[in-house]
């Protein structure tokens, strides 16, 4: 059905996947004494707590509800007592605190009563999207975008092709690989459900060519389903990026400033469709995930299925512990992952990997002046000019950086990876994007202030005009009464 197309740019970093890809997913991790559930594990505002200190909760019980369109529900990963709702250190490079719900497990691991639909395909599409929303499912590949929103967008647009992203091109990470090998049937069923919800014409599960076992397992699970095709895509970073995957599979390029919906394509990660299948078939909310625990400091790298909120030090402990002091802790892969401030931070819904890297793996260098070799231009999968964007960002010339394509930059790090001068290009782009975001927020704030001021001025003027009109009417009535003769007044 699909003839794979060549895509521009990309790099081939050392994979470091063999250490964890051959071991089965570890599922029997002991419960930690405390689970920490940040109220923001999604791309929107914090969820609103539904519990308070001292409450007893069951496994799967909703403990925080979405607050706004981009927010997501949060559920108790196990049964126990709410210890507190307080500020905790977040899994973010800033190390800044954020509100979280702390649960003390009681060891019973007692589920709330689950009520999965008898036949999901018999329900209305909006009802299925609502069940996904209620389960608190977000993009499991790291984007943490609420899955129900993408399903509803798929209903509003004419989606011709549903692509399930099984590329997993980040070094070290084998989460999706093991999931596809061990739970292929569930992923295929999840793909069928998503295709049913958005009414896509066809579905394709795209897997990088360096995952032969996953390809075999998925093709076997989908062999009797004509509407789902499993294809192999080239193993090249950042093939896991939605726009690159769309171009490789369909041959169509998403225009600058547009979304995949605009060209009739919707992309979901394999772990996301697995979570959707668990919610719609078994009624289970998103309370755990498979994550890769790897890096040179980890004794036995492998994939672990852990409860959301588990401190990452327990994940390291489940894999034999750390053999040395890590030079860097990461959540996600080394190309686009977030640096972690401490091993005490919790696993969150978007945590596809937890890495403890040695000094040799970090490979830090002192930046040197740019030699204008244009390797960054050749490596950029978006066809941008990283050299010009970085130079403008360093001068705080954000308009020029935006003209050079900053808005379309996906922060994949390919340019920085090939730079012989070891210039931290992605850091400049993140800085510029942050400043532009703040500028837009300030502009929107000023515009809102102007609108509110204008509305108040118009309201005050209207009130003045109404009072003046009432006053004139009252005076006119008095004058009319004064003109009446005594006989007329007596008759009145």
pLDDT at 59 over 70: yes
> Which of 36-50, 368-382, 474-488 is predicted with the least confidence, judged by mean pLDDT?
474-488
Cα dist. 148→272, 288, 374 in Å? 11, 18, 41
Task: Specify the higher pLDDT residue, 290 or 159.
Answer: 290
Amino acid 258: pLDDT: 83
Beta-strand runs (E) in 106-181 = 161-166
**Average pLDDT across the chain, whole number:** 90
36: helix, strand or coil: strand
Mean pLDDT of 147-156: 86
Q: Which of 271, 313, 316, 314 is nearest to 293 (CA)?
A: 316
| For helices 184-198 and 212-221, angle between their N-to-C axes, nearest 10 degrees | 60
Q: Which of 71-75, 90-94, 156-160, 374-378 has the lowest mean pLDDT?
A: 90-94
Residue environment code for 396-435, b if the CB has 16+ CB neighbours within 10 A, otherwise e: eebebbbebbbebbbbbbbbbbbbebebebbebbebbbee
Report pLDDT for 2.
53
pLDDT tens for 179-189 read 999 999 999 99
The more confidently predicted of residues 164 and 363 is 164
Question: Which structural domains are found in the chain, ordered by start?
Answer: 18-30+124-289 (3.40.50.11540), 365-466 (1.10.1060)
d(CA 81, CA 455): 48
Provide the 3-class DSSP secondary structure of residue 445.
helix
Name 38's Cβ contacts closer than 8 Å, sequence gap at least 6. 88, 90, 91, 98, 99, 100, 346, 348
266 touches 129 (CB < 8 A):
no
Beta bridge partners of residue 59, listed in sequence order: 111
Q: Which pLDDT does position 156 carry in this prediction?
A: 82
Cβ-based neighbours of 13, under 8 Å, separated by 6 or more:
171, 237, 334, 335, 417
Residue 485 reports pLDDT greater than 70: no
């Amino acid at each position: 059905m699909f003839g794979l197309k060549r895509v521009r740019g990309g790099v081939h970093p050392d994979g470091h996947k063999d250490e964890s890809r051959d071991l089965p997913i570890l599922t029997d991790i002991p419960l930690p004494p405390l689970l920490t559930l940040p109220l923001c594990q999604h791309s929107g505002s914090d969820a609103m707590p539904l519990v308070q200190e001292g409450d007893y909760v069951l496994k799967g019980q909703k403990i925080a509800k979405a607050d706004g369109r981009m927010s997501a529900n949060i559920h108790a990963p196990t049964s126990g007592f709410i210890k507190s709702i307080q500020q905790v250190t977040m899994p973010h490079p800033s190390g800044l605190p954020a509100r979280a719900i702390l649960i003390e497990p009681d060891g019973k691991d007692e589920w709330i009563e689950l009520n999965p639909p008898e036949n999901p395909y018999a329900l209305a599409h909006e009802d299925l999207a609502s069940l996904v929303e209620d389960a608190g499912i977000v993009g499991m590949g790291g984007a943490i975008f609420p899955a129900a929103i993408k399903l509803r967008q798929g209903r509003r647009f004419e989606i011709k092709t549903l692509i399930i992203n099984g590329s997993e091109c980040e070094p070290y990470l084998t989460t999706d690989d093991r999931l596809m090998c061990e739970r292929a049937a569930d992923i295929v069923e999840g793909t069928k459900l998503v295709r049913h919800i958005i009414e896509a014409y066809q579905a394709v599960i795209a897997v990088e060519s360096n995952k032969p076992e996953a390809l075999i397992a998925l093709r076997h699970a989908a062999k009797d389903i004509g509407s789902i095709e499993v294809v192999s895509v080239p193993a090249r970073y950042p093939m896991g990026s939605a726009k690159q995957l769309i171009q490789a599979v369909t041959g169509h390029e998403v225009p600058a400033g547009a979304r995949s919906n605009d060209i009739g394509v919707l992309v979901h990660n394999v772990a996301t469709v697995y979570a959707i299948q668990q919610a719609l078939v078994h009624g289970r909310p998103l309370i755990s995930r498979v994550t890769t625990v790897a890096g040179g400091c980890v004794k036995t790298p492998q994939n672990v299925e852990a409860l959301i909120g588990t401190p990452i030090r327990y994940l390291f402990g489940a894999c034999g512990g750390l053999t040395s002091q890590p030079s860097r802790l990461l959540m996600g892969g080394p190309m686009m992952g977030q640096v972690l401030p401490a091993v005490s931070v919790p696993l969150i819904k978007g945590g596809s990997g937890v890495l403890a890297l040695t000094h040799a793996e970090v490979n830090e260098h002192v930046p040197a002046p740019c030699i204008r070799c244009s390797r960054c231009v050749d490596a950029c999968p978006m066809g941008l000019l990283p050299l010009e964007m970085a130079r403008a960002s360093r001068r705080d010339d954000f308009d020029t950086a935006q003209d050079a394509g900053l808005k379309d930059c996906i922060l994949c790090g390919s340019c920085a990876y090939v730079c012989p001068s070891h210039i931290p290009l992605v850091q400049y782009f993140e800085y510029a994007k942050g400043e532009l975001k703040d500028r837009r927020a300030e502009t929107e704030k000023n515009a809102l202030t102007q609108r509110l001021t204008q509305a108040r001025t118009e309201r005050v003027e209207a009130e003045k005009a109404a009072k003046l009109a009432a006053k004139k009417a009252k005076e006119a009535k008095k004058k009319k009464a004064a003109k009446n003769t005594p006989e007329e007044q007596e008759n009145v």
